[in-house]
A = this chain, B = another copy of it.
Amino acid sequence: MPSIVRNHGPHNKILLSALLLALFGWVPLASAAVAVPMDSTGPYRTVSHPENAPSGVDAGVGPSEWTHAYANPAHNAAFPVPDDAPEWIRNGVSWLFPEARAWPLANPPFGSKTYGAAEASVTQTQFYGNALGPSVVDGVVYAESDDMFAYAVNAKTGKLIWRASPVGNNLMGNPLVIGNTVYLSAGSVAFNFANVLRYAHNPSASARGLNVSFNGIYALNRSNGKLLWYFATPGETMATPAYDNNTLFIADGAGNAFGINATTGKQVWKTHVGGMDNMSSVTAYRHNIYFAMAIKPYLYCLNESNGHIVWKGTIPGASNTGIGDVSPAAADGVVVLDATTKPQANKKAMFSNVIRAFDAKTGAVLWTRNMGSGGKIPAFKGGVPMIHNNIVYVGNPVASTYQAYELKTGKLLWTWHVPTKVAAGAGRSAPTYYKGLLYITTGQYIFVVNPATGKELHQHHIGGQFGIESPVIVGGTVYLTNSWDWIMAIPLKTISHGS
């Protein structure tokens, strides 16, 4: 795009841009189907390498769509492949893709000297790295990052297919992939000063992310990353939407829940429930949706088709940020959520995490368990639950443990103490159950744990840091993203056999 433009100040009423357009037929900016602030030749332009896309059988590897954060309502991102699947996915591939703000995996957190390691690692996650794990669909790995870019990478070769940055905000979600569209959710952890003052005056009047850059859902063309449409929300949408029946469901930092037509991007319904959705990605299950809000600490069940509140539940004593972080898991007619509860008056600042199971249909409380306590930790304070075969596997970062509970009764089966020290606490990500083994990413490691006993079998050091990123297993390969802004593929056998 020519940047030498000679125009000698037309009558001031003819706007400069209109003149440029008339004189040069030059549309200086984003040539996406829909206009967003972007120089179409600048660093945020969409870059596309169709030559790197998978073809033939490789383009059929893995699931054919991605409808939720952590892949599905039960949060188990595990995908066996058929025996005749390509050898590379069965045997496992290995590559490392540096995203835009990648930091060497061996390095301590950037900014540790100024913030201290615990806070610096959280900051690096929230503003530079990946908050959630990747999606893997039809031979392509999709990731969205707090470096403000989304990526499509060939699952076999690790080569970039496209990169896009339709909005100048952090992308904390897990890209949904349905049909020929990839959906991103934009939102930052931040508050502007006006909402700091509102919070001080009346927390319920404050909105997270309001006027902090621009928020909402951005829909991209799956083959080239071009922007198709965006649905703007007032509050942040750090959380990932859920998809069902041509509708996306999301809740924002300003207390709103939305149903959005997944094809047109038009609003289907909007329900204001109040509070703030921090990172509680929506779960769509049996025609209802579930998400949790902070400040007004409730787990909500809304009717998918009209957004009406079916029921709402809570976790007794949930701290003001606790309950809006975790995404509820749903399976076998049960919805499970955990949250950090405020320290009891008698106890020196010891936080306890509590897990509660609800009847998915009625909201009746089935059971409630105290998961264990510990000192204050920064940022995300819960563990994302995963349900497999009537058992809930869930971490607890205040105690740095993982536990297993019977889904229907809440009976505690085992507790595993994460052996390696994580400055900000270990135990945020949802485990992944695959072929009789439990894979857990936390701190600098991926661990293999016996799901029946909770005994650790292996640990594999990666470096960098894993926060709420869960491992995605497709056949013989584990796909990962992390806080140091890398997308990775590692052969499963490297991990499951110990190394």
Show the binding face of A for B, using Cβ within 8 Å: 1, 3-13, 15-18, 20, 28-29, 35-39, 42-44, 47, 94-107, 110-111, 113-115, 119, 122-124, 126-128, 146-149, 157-160, 163, 165, 168-169, 188-197, 199-200, 203, 206, 208, 210-214, 216, 232-234, 278, 320-321, 378-379, 459-463, 484-485, 488, 490-491, 493-495, 499
Chain B residues with CB under 8 Å of A35's CB are 104, 107
Q: A127-B213, A211-B378 are in contact. List 7 more A-B contacts (CB 8 A).
A: A3-B98, A5-B158, A8-B491, A16-B96, A36-B110, A196-B196, A197-B320
- Given contacts A29-B98, A42-B100, whether A499 and B127 have CB atoms under 8 Å apart is no
When the two chains form their complex, are residues B37 and A94 in contact, meaning their CB atoms are under 8 A apart?
no
When the two chains form their complex, are residues B494 and A28 in contact, meaning their CB atoms are under 8 A apart?
no
A420, B188: Cα distance in complex, Å: 34
Question: 6 shortest A-B CB distances, which residue pairs?
Answer: A9-B494, A190-B190, A127-B213, A37-B103, A39-B98, A12-B461
When the two chains form their complex, are residues A39 and B211 in contact, meaning their CB atoms are under 8 A apart?
no
A101, B4: Cα distance in complex, Å: 19
A9, B68: Cα distance in complex, Å: 30
A491, B329: Cα distance in complex, Å: 62
With beta carbons under 8 angstroms apart, the residue of B10, B115, B499 that contacts A499 is B10
When the two chains form their complex, are residues B158 and A42 in contact, meaning their CB atoms are under 8 A apart?
no
Rounded to whole Å, the gap between the CB of A318 and the closest CB of chain B is 15
A485, B30: Cα distance in complex, Å: 13
- Given contacts A110-B36, A485-B37, whether A115 and B28 have CB atoms under 8 Å apart is no
With beta carbons under 8 angstroms apart, the residue of B37, B107, B194 that contacts A102 is B37
- Given contacts A43-B149, A211-B115, A232-B111, whether A37 and B101 have CB atoms under 8 Å apart is yes
Give the copy number.
2
A492, B213: Cα distance in complex, Å: 34
When the two chains form their complex, are residues B188 and A17 in contact, meaning their CB atoms are under 8 A apart?
no
Q: Enumerate 28 A-B pairs (CB-CB under 8 Å) in ascending A order.
A: A5-B96, A8-B494, A11-B499, A13-B461, A16-B96, A16-B488, A28-B102, A37-B102, A37-B128, A38-B100, A39-B98, A43-B43, A44-B100, A44-B147, A101-B168, A110-B214, A111-B214, A114-B232, A115-B210, A119-B211, A126-B192, A127-B169, A148-B148, A190-B191, A191-B192, A193-B208, A193-B379, A196-B196
- Given contacts A43-B43, A147-B168, A462-B16, whether A3 and B159 have CB atoms under 8 Å apart is yes
- Given contacts A37-B485, A190-B212, A211-B115, whether A95 and B200 have CB atoms under 8 Å apart is no
Rounded to whole Å, the gap between the CB of A263 and the closest CB of chain B is 20
When the two chains form their complex, are residues B463 and A16 in contact, meaning their CB atoms are under 8 A apart?
yes
When the two chains form their complex, are residues A38 and B94 in contact, meaning their CB atoms are under 8 A apart?
no
A173, B390: Cα distance in complex, Å: 56
Chain B residues with CB under 8 Å of A461's CB are 12-13, 15
Rounded to whole Å, the gap between the CB of A298 and the closest CB of chain B is 18
Rounded to whole Å, the gap between the CB of A406 and the closest CB of chain B is 33
Rounded to whole Å, the gap between the CB of A32 and the closest CB of chain B is 13
Rounded to whole Å, the gap between the CB of A397 and the closest CB of chain B is 15
Rounded to whole Å, the gap between the CB of A212 and the closest CB of chain B is 6
